Structure 1
Amino acid sequence: MTVSVTFAFLFVYLTGPRGLDAGQAGLVAGAGGAGLLAGNLTGGFFGDRFGHRRALLASAVTGGLLLAAVPLLPTPALFAALPLAQYASGVQRAANAALVAVIVPEGQRRQAFAVVRAAANGGFTAGPLLGALVATRLSYDWLYVADGLGSVGLAWWTARVIPARAGGVRLPSPRSGRPAGPARGAERPGPVGPATAPGLWAALRARPAVPVLLGAIVVADIVYRQLYTTFPVYLADHGLDTGVYGALLAVNGGVLLCLELPAALALRRRAPLPVVATGLLLVAAGYGVLPAGPGAWTAVAMMTLLTLGELLYKTPATAYVADRAPAHLQGRFQSLYAGASIAGVVLAAPLGGALYQAAPGLLWPLTTAAVAAAGCAVLVGARLERATLRPAGGAPAGGAPAEPLTETPVAPAS
């Protein structure tokens, strides 16, 4: 997301060129975080109702124009414009994930989401450096203009590359032998299928492993994002400067950029939930080494385990939710996952900061226990899934298909 670059410099921009005090800047930043979460949670509804491609295009253009207009807006207007731009970014994120899930056939989604994350990690690595260069050599105004135009450019590129009715046909299950039927295209609005098609909550009840996974991801994200909140404070309190912290983040981004896609390819035939659980347990192990004693080697061990855990759990979890979603609810399933996966943006700092201030010695043991419990819950979810998909008598439970149907994308029109 291009929007993320400008928001990395938001606080500095508001307290510098715009002249707001820290409290006012914090209010705008907090409202932006709430807007981002709300956009992630509701973006899938727009996609399911109007088409995921349309939702992505509308949100990218809206967010881009708001950002490009920032230099022209009076300071009071930023209290509305910037949170709205973050909301549009959240809708764009959910719509993008749903569009990938609709276009890419089941069985290839892990690799597809790994490619998406590789692009995001590349942007996360290069974006702040380029943003700092633009802000210091030109101005923050140009940073917002460039970021806004980049978002509009993404919409233009998507409109050119993704056909208006991207989708495909449903293939019969090789095991069930069900006949093929028409698939829902990415741009066909409204629910598809019989009038009795289950709603969101009924679909979730029929797939009990999905809510378990979503809850585990919320916990994991709150714990994982201590990396950006309390962890640098912990390093500074133990005599490790910002250079050490920056080097650790660079290692994290570089390893993910190089290894996440190969890992997705190597593990593509493995059941996803045990892979996710293993990743969460590695995140727990990462934070679990910190009480062994502060120091550079402890920090390196922590970052290595944390990076390996992230590499294992994030892509398979995203693809699993896509694979288990009914066609008419793909966007809302992706919205639920997108919201769970950024819960830490809103909750990590206040929860971790309060605990670190009140009882610093308890922070790492409690975060370790919390994410380890989340990993164990995912393993329980895997057992629930097996029970749901293979009940006595062989019929699917709760209306869930014994094997999700595959969608084959139509080639873009020339």
Structure 2
Amino acid sequence: MGFFGVVRDVPRTVRLLAFGSFLNGVVSFTFVYLFVYLTGPRGLSVPQAGVIAGFGGIGLVAGNFTGGWFGDRYGHRRMLLTGALVSGVALAALPALPVAAMYGVLPLAQYAAGVVRAANSALVAVSVPEGSRRQSFALVRAGGNAAFAVGPPLGALIAARFSYDWLFVADGLGTLIFAGYAATVLPAHGTAHSRPAHDPGAPGLWRELRARPAVLVLLAAILCVDLVYRQQYSTLPVFLAEHGHGARFYGWLLSVNGGLILLLELPAAHALRRRAPLSVVGTGLLLVGLGYAVLIPGVGALFAVTMMASLTAGEILYKTTATAYVADQAPAHAQGRFQSLYAGASISGQVLAPPLGGALYAHAPGLLWPACAVLACGAGVAVLAARRPWGPWGSGAVPGPVRAEAAVPVPERQTRPG
């Protein structure tokens, strides 16, 4: 089945959300140039800029971890719109604020962006039947990846033609336009998008997670592997530069990575839709670990290309499948909170990877890549081991909505909601 055939099998609501992710992603370029803006036009020192950027990163992770909690209580559509409005206004106002205010406003904007990300994932989950979610999450990720190919060059053009201040104004206005688009395409009443899912009589989040030990293993594995995965944005360029590979070579590696993901992730999700999800995720995590292991014996261009190829294959396998697996395992009343836990774990490396990887590389550079390989491969092995039915019931039979690892048959054409 071709690309358009796969897209047709995705519910209309998800296609609209994917296009919205593209629109929002195109203007979300300020994080790429934030450090340059703070140390350039704003005149801050590198340590000051690092603190503000770090606070923003913490806000983003916190928004991802908590956005689903609000969505379950007040409705995911409402939280997506609220987060987009708050983020848009804060970003547009940022250039006019004094430096002291940026310590609070930037984390607020990033927190709201994290809420939007968690709400968007929850909206996809409630729009698609269980067992049919991989292609849907892959399509939304494709929208975001396509936007990343367009956004940074567009941001560079705006900064060069106008100023860095206009980057934040454009990002804020674009986010507000996204809010208007989402309000138009997502029904305001009478759907799972707008209805709160909170059930006061339902089991608490921790009890639901304990009943799904494989989900806990997966979340811990994603937390570990994201710390490893995001070394490609922090210590890897430093490592390559110290071994004779300049910024152009590094940029080319990232371009190939992004291009392959954009081309292959959606077809791979469709082709592997009947494969047991934890098997696919575990294999992907192992490929991430093996990719970094390639850097242990050599630093030539061939080693770097091989490393990126393995990392790309691993990302294609694990990211979409893991998101869909968490959605499939979540009870209806906690779908947002489950998605928030995954979203937070999957972006935690943005805050943790630079300081931890940088510290290890500074004190024992020869240990960084072996440590990355061991951590990611260990996470992969743990996920593969979690495939067996297990839990407090002994026999492996899981009552209620809890499901053991299995390949789920998916019909050729998904049923569209509504």
Same fold by TM-score greater than 0.5: yes
Residue 368 of structure 1, aligned match among 370, 373, 383: 373
2:398 aligns with 396
Q: State the partner residue of 1:174.
A: none
Q: Note if contact 2:212-2:402 (Cα within 8 Å) is conserved in structure 1.
A: no
**1:237 counterpart = 2:242:** yes
Q: How does 1:5-404 map to 2 (within 5 A)?
A: 5-165=29-189, 167=191, 185-192=192-199, 196-383=201-388, 386-388=389-391, 392=395, 396-397=398-399, 399-402=400-403
Separation (CA, whole Å) in 1 of partners of 2:189 and 2:417 = 8
SS in 1 for 2:198: coil
233 and 402 in structure 1: CA distance in 2 versus 1, 3 angstrom threshold? closer
Moved more, 44-53 or 2-11: 2-11
**Count of aligned pairs between the two proteins:** 388
Give the root-mean-square deviation of aligned CA atoms.
2.1
User: What amino acid maps onto 2:50 in structure 1?
Assistant: G
CA contact (8 A) 2:67 2:114 kept: yes
SS in 2 for 1:269: coil
Distance 1:51 1:295, change over 3 A: same
Q: Offset of 1:294 from its aligned partner?
A: 0.9
3-state DSSP of counterpart to 1:292: coil
Deviation for aligned residue 1:403: 8.3
The answer for the alignment partner of 2:16 in structure 1 is none
Superposed displacement of residue 72, structure 1: 2.1
Mapped to 2, the partners of 1:350 and 1:24 lie a distance apart of 15
Equivalent-residue separation in structure 2 for 1:274 and 1:390 (angstroms): 23
**Unaligned stretches of 5+ in structure 1?**
168-184
In the aligned structure 1, how far is the partner of 2:296 from the partner of 2:324?
A: 34
The answer as to whether partners of 2:84 and 2:175 remain within 8 angstroms in 1 is yes
Contact 1:280 1:309 in 2 (8 A): yes
User: Given that residues 389 and 402 in structure 1 are in contact (C-alpha distance below 8 angstroms), is that contact kept between their aligned partners in structure 2?
Assistant: no
For structure 2, list consecutive stretches of 5 or more residues without a partner in the other structure: 1-23
Which amino acid counterpart does residue 118 of structure 1 have in structure 2? A
The residue type equivalent to 2:81 in the other structure is L
Aligned sequence identity (%): 62
Per the alignment, residue 17 of structure 2 pairs with none
Amino acid at match of 1:361: G
User: 1:175: which partner in 2?
Assistant: none
Alignment-derived partner of residue 20 in structure 2: none
Change (3 A) 1:375 1:395: closer
Matched letter for residue 193 of structure 2: A
For residue 144 of structure 1, what is the amino acid of its counterpart? F
Q: Which shifted more, 275-284 or 12-21? A: 12-21
Distance in 2 between residues matched to 1:272 and 1:5, nearest whole Å = 33
Question: Distance between the aligned counterparts of 2:402 and 2:102, measured in 1?
Answer: 47
- Letter of the structure 2 residue corresponding to residue 189 of structure 1: P
The 8 Å contact of residues 390 and 402 in structure 1, kept in 2 or not, is answered as no
CA 1:302–1:401: 2 relative to 1, 3 Å:
closer
Cα-to-partner distance string for 1:342-399 (whole Å, 9 max, x where unaligned): 111111111111111111111111110110000000012111xx2359964x9634x4
Per-residue deviation, 1:410: 4.2
Once the two structures are superposed, residues 310-333 of structure 1 have per-residue CA deviations (whole angstroms, 9 ceiling, x without a partner) of 000000000000000000100100
Q: Distance in 2 between matches of 1:119 and 1:93?
A: 13
Q: Comparing 105-114 with 55-64, which one deviates more in the overlay? A: 105-114
